[in-house]
Copies of this chain bind each other. A is one copy, B any other.
Amino acid sequence: MINPIEILGLVAAILTTAAFLPQVYKTWKTKSTDSLSLTMLLIFVSGVLCWLVYGFLIDSFPIILANFITAISGFLLLYFKYRYKN
């Protein structure tokens, strides 16, 4: 049995990871990145990479999973920001 606390962590992980998918999709479809802050994206991706290492060190699967996928979304948004800049 999975620990109920880990289930909550997984729900959290799924939500905050899934959250960026509609943003990635919207940015890809509209090619609009005006309202997205580049500073936000750069700091965010750095932070997500730190969380990923932290997740490995405290051996928390939800933290590892969430931040691995969020890192990919973050890098995609950074790429779109660079690609579709005005």
Contacts and interface: CB of A to CB of B under 8 A. Distances in A.
Contacts of A40: 19-23, 26
B16 A26 contact: no
What number of copies of this chain does the assembly contain? 2
Using C-beta atoms within 8 Å of the partner chain, give the interface range for chain A.
Answer: 35 or more
Contacts of A26: 35, 37, 40
Task: Pick the most buried of A25, A34, A51, A60: most chain B CB atoms within 10 A of its CB.
Answer: A51
B12 A51 contact: yes
13 contacts: A5-B57, A13-B47, A15-B47, A17-B47, A18-B43, A18-B47, A19-B41, A19-B43, A20-B40, A21-B40, A22-B39, A23-B36, A26-B37
